[in-house]
Amino acid sequence: MKTALTATALTATLAAGMAMAEPQPYEIDPAHSELLAHWQHADFSTTRAIVFDISGEMTFDEEDPANSSISIQIPTTAINVTPEFEEHLLQSGDLFQNAQDSMITFESTSIKVTGENTADITGDLTLNGVTSEVILESTFIGQGESPTGEQVAAFGATTTLDRTNFNLGAFTPVVPAEVNVEISLEASPASE
């Protein structure tokens, strides 16, 4: 009888541990997430664009990060540049097409763990109506309690895009095709 009770308790403990190890759903926090893109303007200066309106969902498996996934959505109109450049970038038709009605999306397809807190996230990036595979070099910054008492998980990622892959190749090669992207994300457990 004692052996049966011990086995039952052990099974319950293992089941509880396994349940805790399952991937957890999170929602990206737009108030504490941003994307910075920068590229060379000929050989003269560096042009920057920043985005704050980032939304999306992720599942995070802390025990097996390769079992995680992420989905990001950004309205094209959320790209912030200088007022003088905004009309050219988003409205002239030289670069973005239908910028007022389009979304930038990223859907992960696989995750390869590269270090204790790093991973390469491969996924489909849809930009300017074109979908192409990109790799985000990501870092898990940590998780814990925010100053407001909410649980958060924080991540950073970088990548370099070839804008010609997305029909954004105007003025190349005078303006180089490479666009460097830095992403900072905070996410909180999804509400049930």
DSSP state of 190: P
Pairing state between β 55-60 and 69-75: antiparallel
pTM of the model: 0.83
Chunked in runs of 10, what are the mean pLDDT values of the chain (192 residues)?
Answer: 39 41 90 95 90 95 93 93 80 74 93 96 95 97 89 96 91 91 96 71
51: Cβ contacts below 8 Å, ≥ 6 apart:
34, 35, 36, 37, 74, 78, 79, 80
